[in-house]
Amino acid sequence: GENVEQHPSTLSVQEGDSAVIKCTYSDSASNYFPWYKQELGKRPQLIIDIRSNVGEKKDQRIAVTLNKTAKHFSLHITETQPEDSAVYFCAANRRRDDKIIFGKGTRLHILP
């Protein structure tokens, strides 16, 4: 079946440095790739998404890149801050019914 692989499962970076989280997807027909941030005890929040007709999208310190040929996409956070500490989930739509399938998540720690 369709699945989304996410790496790494845990990531620690110094405050101010950049963080990169990578995902691959199996459904070559997927065309929508959202990223969610989940803080402890809270609901997942959509932070950025990209559709397959573009290769990159930026929103302030956050950017997402998409390589359709290789079927992978990445989240880039620059100038990390303590409030960036959270679990991040990548996801992709399952094209046959447009349902969203999630990766296993990356726990990001921002070190002081």
Interface positions with other proteins (CB under 8 A): 1, 32, 34, 42-46, 49, 51, 89, 93, 97-105
Tell me how far, at minimum, the Cβ of 51 lies from other proteins, in Å: 8
Choice between 73 and 105, CB closer to other proteins: 105
Tell me how far, at minimum, the Cβ of 93 lies from other proteins, in Å: 6
Choice between 31 and 78, CB closer to other proteins: 31
Q: Is the peptide bond before 8 cis (omega within 30 degrees of 0)?
A: yes
> d(Cα 94, Cα 109) in Å, to the nearest integer?
30
Choice between 80 and 93, CB closer to other proteins: 93
> d(Cα 48, Cα 63) in Å, to the nearest integer?
8
Tell me how far, at minimum, the Cβ of 17 lies from other proteins, in Å: 25
- Report in angstroms the alpha-carbon separations of 74 from 5, 41, 89, 110, 112: 11, 25, 11, 18, 24
Choice between 78 and 104, CB closer to other proteins: 104
> d(Cα 3, Cα 40) in Å, to the nearest integer?
25
- Write out the H or E segment, with its range, that includes residue 80: none
Tell me how far, at minimum, the Cβ of 16 lies from other proteins, in Å: 28
